[in-house]
Amino acid sequence: MPKDLLDLDATPERLRALADAGILPPAALERALHLSVASPPRAEWRSFLSTALMALGTMLVLSGVIYFFAYNWADLHRFGKLGLIAAAMVGTSVAAWRLGEGLAGQFALLASAVLVGALLAVYGQAYQTGADPYELFLGWAVLILPWVALARFAPLWQFLLVLLDTGVILFWAQVLDGDEDSAAWLAVVLGLLNGFAWATYEHFANAGVSWLQRRWVPRGLAVMTVAPLLAAAAVFIVAPSEVGPGAGVALLLVLGTLAADYALHRHLRGELFLLTLGVLSAMTLVTTLVGRLLIVEGDINEFSLFLMPFVIIGEVALAVWWLRNEARTTGSAEEA
């Protein structure tokens, strides 16, 4: 749901708007502006550094586990390999249980979910099961689903989505062995899958679910939604007669995401990241179209190459002007 006006951050734009409306006196405005741009207090810095170092440490430990098995593969018996990973999984799972729903416990559960993939990979190599890589990633996603559902940890849900995306891409490459048009349909499938996850996140965040209030996760989901669709749409613009209908569908979906970006920006009273993502997508489509008209369909000459930079500069200037106008209108402030 949109934030109550009293819950919005006290950004300089909003404070000046209050002063212009006569609600905030000049003396209070000066003090409010100072507080709005002040550095975070020591407690917030400590919390940020603790979280960042915990995440970094978790990733380094997990990468160390992978490289340990890669380096010592020939010297370890298969039971030793499986036993070590199983012990690490049990240890991280017990740690997650003992640490509870705090950040440390959630990172421990994330580590345990990652080790499930390592266990499947080692098992497949040790016993030569003949499974395709896409089966590894899809099976990995299925096995960790109960943990993901119980964790209430948004990064773990995003990790699950990455596994599903990887499995779908490998399935397309290894089983379907598709051509360029099927690659466009792959982009459509990925866009719809990631878009469904994005819309689901926004729905439950809008419903007030406490652990879904951080904005960086839906921003990542938005990028994962737009990126494959934008690539297929650009191909459609460059050579519409040489690609199938999948690229056209991708273009329509990209245009739909632009509308969704703007609607969310207005609904949340300021979501400049999504708005910027939409502007970059529109600039990419327009630049691709202009490049096709000037270079592909027209004669390639010095004038065409000279004109393209000015087109890009004009797009950037227009985009910056519009984004600044939207920021002033909504009093936007980027939040984590």
pLDDT score for 76 = 76
Q: What residue type is assigned to position 284 of the chain?
A: T
DSSP string for residues in 253-319: HHHHHHHHHHHHHHHTT--HHHHHHHHHHHHHHHHHHHHIIIIISS---HHHHHHHHHHHHHHHHHH
Strand, coil or helix: what is 303? helix
Task: Give residue for tokens 């209070």.
Answer: 28
| Per-residue confidence band for 176, with pLDDT thresholds at 50, 70 and 90 | confident
Which pair of tokens denotes residue 11?
């950004």
Kindly report the pTM of this predicted structure: 0.78
Greatest Cα pair distance in the chain: 77
pLDDT at residue 36, rounded to an integer: 65
- 148: closest CA among 166, 136, 163, 134? 163
d(CA 149, CA 154): 10
Kindly report, residue by residue over 204-246, the tens digit of the pLDDT: 888 888 888 888 888 999 999 999 999 999 988 888 777 778 8
Per residue in 110-167, pLDDT tens?
888 888 888 888 888 777 767 788 888 999 999 999 888 888 888 889 999 999 999 9
Confidence of residue 301 (pLDDT cuts 50, 70, 90): low
Provide the pLDDT confidence category of residue 35 given band limits of 50, 70 and 90: low
Residues 12 and 20: beta-carbon distance below 8 Å = no
Sequence length of the chain is 336
Least confident range from 42-51, 117-126, 296-305: namely 296-305
